[in-house]
Amino acid sequence: MAALTSSVGRGCAFLRSPQLLRQRLTARLARTQEPGEASQHVRWLLQDGDYGPLDGRAARRRLIADVARLAQGEPLAYVLGTQPFAGLLLKCRAPTLIPRPETEEWGLRVADLARSWLATLPERERGIRVLDLCTGSGCLAMLLAHTLSKAPGAAATRVVAADVSPSALALAAENMHTLPSFAQPSVVRADIFDDGDMAGLVRNGPFDLLVCNPPYIPARDHASLDASVRLFEDRLALIGELPAGAGADADAPDGLIFYRRIAALLAEGRLLRRPHAPRQCPSIVLEVGKGQAPAVQLLVEPFSERVEIWRDGFGVDRVVASWLRSDESGRSTPG
């Protein structure tokens, strides 16, 4: 960073002119990025970076330092400290994963389905319980809470955001506080592989909707990820495998360990409430990696009335959505 700072800092006229500053920073950043990308990144920094007037020395030095971070491969969302998501502005901080457009796409779809479903329920049943497992920044929980806060039965609806990472939990809690107090999800620490933690989540009853964007990248693929992901985002939030020696499935190389655990929880029958009647909104919505949808579909089919695979805007099978079978017992055991 020092080299970039000193090189772009030469010349009083350059430092005094915001236009020259922008041109010089774009040129420097283009040494490590495509020119169009470099220009776009500098424009976003100037637009969203809250530097204040660039005729001040402190503002210029902050901007120069942030361009240096981008030149070193750090993601723009971490440099800015924020990421837009479905009309919300989330705080972003390494190493917690940055919300992706693919997740935003299906999150909006589920939020709309859940809101429409709530409107069809009898008044006494309009409060529902939603669980966002592996919440990360809290983006999905926030989107669902924000959308459902405007739906019938909002006062009785509860959204719970769970994660095991201390840094993710801290960031999610900060993000939740940007919502009105009545709409804020609860943020709780829960390890999906810990039976006690999962039992604690259903202490107040089963959930009506589970959304989850778990780690799903096979460990063998980590080295091939883009450097901005590999070097800055939490490896444990990316890799869908347990460390060697952590259990019987620890050496499974397919990245599906979290989905197998979810299937086991469904088999226990305590996590989700079975619907009393057909409904628009699925009971389970899981983001999956490229090529994983068929295997995950097989895992949830024993509990499902129907299963759908949703493609993202890039044509990739991105989501497995399951509608649980109706059951008078309220348990989600296979039928």
- pLDDT tens per residue, range 293-307: 999 999 999 999 999
pLDDT of residue 6: 46
**Burial of 10 by CB count in 10 Å (0-12 exposed, 13-18 middle, 19+ buried)?**
exposed
Q: Which CATH number fits domain 83-324: 3.20.20.70, 3.40.50.150, 3.40.50.300, 3.30.200.20?
A: 3.40.50.150
pLDDT of residue 329: 41
Q: What percentage of the chain reaches a pLDDT higher than 70? A: 89
pLDDT category, 8, cuts 50, 70, 90?
very low
The rounded distance, in Å, linking the Cα atoms of 97 and 83 is 11
Q: 267: closest CA among 306, 303, 294?
A: 303
Sign of CA dihedral 106, 133, 149, 115: positive
- pLDDT tens per residue, range 54-79: 778 888 899 999 999 999 999 999 99
Which CA distances in Å does 115 have to 118, 128, 144, 228?
5, 11, 9, 36
pLDDT category, 238, cuts 50, 70, 90?
very high
- pLDDT tens per residue, range 164-198: 999 999 999 999 999 999 899 999 999 999 999 99
240 pLDDT more than 90: yes
13 pLDDT more than 60: no
- pLDDT tens per residue, range 97-133: 999 999 999 999 999 999 999 988 887 777 899 999 9
